[in-house]
Amino acid sequence: MPPGVVGDDMSEPETGTEAESDAEPAATDDAAGPAPLVRRGDEVAYEAVGAADGLSKGVLIDAADGAPHFALRRFTLAPGARVPEHTNAVEHEQYVLEGEYVVGVGDEEHVVRAGDSLLIPAGVVHWYRNEGDEPGAFLCAVPNGDDAIELVSDAGE
């Protein structure tokens, strides 16, 4: 049985198997897929997002790191931050890490807080507004590739 695989009865691999060895994993070549990556939080560079007041973005992992399908980014919303109405060519999956802020999606407004998650389909108008005194932060996963962003208005204020 391959290391780390349990049997149909959920039994552990037998003692003395490769699963218990101290051998380092073999290096991954391009044909086998991307190499594993661990990026520490203090290694992520954040930059202001031009069209939005008080929004910063850090790219955690994306295609440049060998991620074949998705980019994972972390955004921070400063107190008073406003992100205007816009659309994206790709879907967004988001997870709120901290704070509480308002997200407009389509014709609805939602107050979100730590632990909440959102699906913003491609092409749907959305915006953000942090009315609180504390920063907000969220993870955002998007498919790799081009993402055309179109500003709709300066609403969300």
pLDDT digits (tens, 9 = 90+) for 44-90: 999 999 889 999 999 999 999 999 999 999 999 999 999 999 999 99
In a domain, 67, yes or no: yes
In a domain, 156, yes or no: no
Interacting residues of 49 by C-beta distance below 8 A, sequence separation 6+: 55, 56, 57, 75, 83
In a domain, 32, yes or no: no
Total structural domains within the chain: 1
What is the value of pTM for the model shown?
Answer: 0.76
**pLDDT grade, residue 111 (50/70/90)?**
very high
Express each pLDDT in 132-141 by its tens digit: 999 999 999 9
Q: What percent of the chain has pLDDT over 70?
A: 78
Question: Contact, 92 vs 140, CB < 8 A?
Answer: yes
Residue 9, token pair as written in the block: 């009865």
Whichever domain contains 139, its CATH number is: 2.60.120.10
